Amino acid sequence: MSANRGILTAGRWPAHRMRTLAVQTTFGSGRRAISLKSLFTPSPPSDMVHGSSGKKQRILVQPHDLFHPLSKSPVKEMREKGALIQQHGCCTTCVTETTAMGKPATREPTFECPDCGYPTHCSPTHWKQDTTHHDELCGHLREANEDEHDLRSGRTLREFEFPSAQLPEIVVNLSSWDSFLYTRSFTNINSNRAMRHVSKVLTYPVTIGSVLHQFSPFVLSSGLTPEGLKSMTALRTTIKEHDLARSEKELAMQQMPLRVFVLGARAEAMLPPHLYLQLAYLLPNSPVHVYFVGPECIPAADEARSTIVVSSRLVLKYHKSYFHDAIWNFAPFDPYTDVFFMFSPGIGHPRARPGWQPTVEKLLETKCAVFATGFHERDMQSDVRALREDFGDKMDWLLEPRENPFS
């Protein structure tokens, strides 16, 4: 699983009103400092071994020695990550204090926690005083430290050997990660660490697929509202038409693709394109076009490419701009074929809220379903409150906030 707990909710349009969404926020400044590029491009080696294919593999970190303080890590990307945290972060104990001017104190976290290896505080004294860090955070950071080093260790990552298309007679179970991975025949996940690795990169495509799939876990008895059922019925009608047209070539050519918009895209757009095939396999007869939109949207391999054709049914498109500025590149919109997702956008965060307002205004005009995730319930409540204050009379909820089984 990803390093955060996921909350998923949504909003929609009624027949007599505009339609909208629901969302959730992020930590700290409202930015997610996540980069997945280097997970698949390890640093130069410290030693080499022969893999099963006969080729030499570069091994940086041994399986029995995964923990390293970031500043002393044998992996270049981890050392750079520690330096960025020290440069842009602040001591979590200092922020509870105030200066002589009455403002929160902000000191760089130059002291690395010896238990988790991350720069967390400005001094050993403040580190010892922070009981919240010791009781609630340190264990998770230690786990993340070891996971990140394992991903970049240079070993053959067998857990990333994913299955291809599903046989039509096999039903996918989307109630949890365990049931999904089992019914989709992921055979190389044999440890909790391997599970965390896989769920970290598949959380985006599988969350999208779990919402759209006919066997979605989001039903009337688990948070889906009557208005939400109407929205999902519209989208699944299109998916059903794709299923019926699979044996008719001429009819298939006339079908409109399902358009999935990922707004505020960051890490979602940096994933290797082939990972989104897992979304295509969940909708085996539907042409799917995924649009990554946001000022920090960067294609995974080549920043100059704006379109990547992954397969005959899956196309990824990248738009490095704000949705409200680029909306006319995508218009017109149709609630039967278009759906929006926002992964932890931080609408309720004071710094992010003004920037999201023009985008939400344009989303209301599309009359299409919008789904959003967040880190935890407190942030979700902050976003819901902000949306109700800014757009409360223009939106309906499709899905009540609930835990995302694919976070």
Residue 237 scores a pLDDT above 80: yes
- Count of Cβ atoms closer than 10 Å to residue 176 Cβ: 12
Q: What angle, 0 to 180 degrees and rounded to 10, lies between the N-to-C axes of helices 192-212 and 226-244?
A: 90
Report the percentage of the chain scoring pLDDT > 70: 81
**Contact call for residues 85 and 122 (beta carbons, < 8 A):** no
Average pLDDT over the chain, rounded to an integer? 82
Report which of 141, 115, 35 is spatially closest to residue 80, judged by C-alpha positions: 35
**Per-residue pLDDT at 2 exceeds 60:** no
Strands 7-12 and 369-374: antiparallel
**CA-to-CA distance for 266 and 331, rounded, in angstroms?**
23
Predicted pLDDT of residue 306: 86
Structure tokens at 236: 């699944």
pLDDT above 50 (res 13): no
Q: What angle do CA 284, 290, 293 make, to 5 degrees?
A: 165
Q: Which contiguous run of DSSP H or E holds residue 369? A: strand 369-374
In DSSP terms, 318 is beta-bridged to: 292
For residues 211 and 390, what is the distance between their CA atoms, to the nearest angstrom?
Answer: 26
pLDDT of 155 over the 80 cut: yes
Q: Taking 90 as the threshold, does the pLDDT of residue 342 lie above it?
A: yes
Please, which residues bridge with residue 1 across strands? none
Tell if the pTM clears 0.75, that is, is over it: yes
Summarised one tens digit per residue, pLDDT across range 85-134 is 999 888 888 877 765 556 666 788 999 999 999 999 999 999 999 999 99
CA distance 88 to 398: 38
Torsion of CA 241, 277, 147, 188, to 10 degrees: 100
Q: Would the pLDDT of 368 be above 90?
A: yes
